[in-house]
Chain A
């Protein structure tokens, strides 16, 4: 089973929920941090990293000896990532989406694959919890290809928890698509509600069952709850604005480490998700 933890708004507590749930469940769990632009789950998990892999995406390399300047590669490219200009062919690897179209249409077989570095993937573990995250190369504009590579580490025989980036655009979709359940972490503020609505819209388009965690639940107003009721979104957990939780967070510690009684609550959160996705699938 794959659970994606998303939010819309940044800073609502996705990583807090993802890490605490993963650690509470213990073994047979993977945590994939797909927030590859600013991964930070490792700051709480403290995994021992034992594998580091550089990830590349294929981009064209042109052999001008073979090229007849026909221009077919430039015509098929929707991203202007390769262009025939004057007497030469100019690839712009940073704009390439790796579709392979230019290689396919080249009648002279003058185009071969080379790689553009997307970033690195690090894999490690902590007490039986498998941990994987991607780190996007500084300067790389596209994160979904690296996110998809991180997701390739998901194993069907275990529970996979995905810590998604904030927002509702391509990187978030890449982190939610194909998940069995999306857990949306929000806060009871107008800002939280606004972005929650956007996130729910995205999840609905993907057709994935979802539920809410309200963080800092005793602050703000009751508009998120009113919205949740209206939209039939189950509130699966509420985390209060507790000084002890905030202090633990500020030291890079997890809630379940300083308040072990929370382990039960995160286990219950998981059980509710399991039941909801079971009903959906059976």
Chain B
């Protein structure tokens, strides 16, 4: 199965999903079949005054993931992920990375067709 990038607060399957996509602490790049994962730090995006979402989208794209699971995605990040052909599952905050992946595998995550946040977390 294709790899999944989940925004996370810590490099662990039991980390809470970071609700923010662009300014997430990092991403867990997970193989949903084996649950093997690697961690990509996204700390540099947190320090950016603008373009954090776009940079995070680049990071996810480079990781080879084809699906993003997260809380909120802003308009520019959405556009960038969409251009890269990466599918987006939103509103997955308030659960762990493992729970988000289980939900995705069970077919319970609707893939987004539009961003669910205005820019700058508004």
Q: Which residues of A contact B40 (CB under 8 A)?
A: none
Complex formed: what's the CA distance from A92 to B51 in Å? 10
Which partner residue on chain A sits nearest B61 by CB separation? A85
Q: Does B80 contact A (CB under 8 A)?
A: yes
Q: Does B111 contact A (CB under 8 A)?
A: no
CB-based contact A95/B50 at 8 Å: yes
Q: Does A204 contact B (CB under 8 A)?
A: no
Q: Does A90 contact B (CB under 8 A)?
A: yes
* Most chain A CB neighbours (cut-off 10 Å) among B54, B58, B61, B85: B54
Q: Mark A82-95, 1 if CB is under 8 A from B, else 0.
A: 01011010101001
Q: Which residues of B contact A (CB under 8 A)?
A: 48, 50-51, 54-55, 57-58, 61, 76, 79-80, 83-86
Q: Which residues of A contact B54 (CB under 8 A)?
A: 80, 83, 92
Contact of B85 among A74, A86, A95 (CB under 8 A): A86
Q: Which residues of A contact B51 (CB under 8 A)?
A: 79-81, 92, 95
Say whether chain A's binding surface is mostly helix, strand, loop, or mixed: mixed
Which A residues, 60 to 107, have Cβ-Cβ distances below 8 Å to chain B? Answer: 74, 79-81, 83, 85-86, 88, 90, 92, 95
CB-based contact A83/B50 at 8 Å: no
Q: Which residues of A contact B58 (CB under 8 A)?
A: 74, 83, 85
Q: Which residues of A contact B (CB under 8 A)?
A: 74, 79-81, 83, 85-86, 88, 90, 92, 95
CB-based contact B48/A85 at 8 Å: no
Known: A80-B48, A95-B50. A88 touches B55 (CB 8 A): no
CB-based contact A92/B61 at 8 Å: no
The distance from the CB of B75 to the nearest CB of chain A, in whole angstroms, is: 10
The distance from the CB of B76 to the nearest CB of chain A, in whole angstroms, is: 6
Which partner residue on chain B sits nearest A85 by CB separation? B84
Q: Which residues of B contact A92 (CB under 8 A)?
A: 51, 54, 76, 79
CB-based contact A88/B83 at 8 Å: yes
Q: Which residues of B contact A80 (CB under 8 A)?
A: 48, 50-51, 54-55
Can you list 12 A-B pairs with a CB-CB distance of less than 8 A?
A: A79-B51, A80-B54, A81-B51, A83-B58, A83-B80, A85-B58, A85-B61, A85-B84, A86-B86, A90-B79, A92-B76, A95-B50
CB-based contact B48/A90 at 8 Å: no
The distance from the CB of B113 to the nearest CB of chain A, in whole angstroms, is: 18
Q: Which residues of A contact B83 (CB under 8 A)?
A: 85-86, 88, 90
Contact of A79 among B50, B79, B84 (CB under 8 A): B50
Which partner residue on chain A sits nearest B85 by CB separation? A86
Complex formed: what's the CA distance from A85 to B86 in Å? 10
If A81-B51, A85-B84, A92-B54 are given as contacts, then 5 extra A-B residue pairs at C-beta distance below 8 Å, sorted by A number, are A80-B55, A83-B80, A85-B61, A86-B84, A95-B51
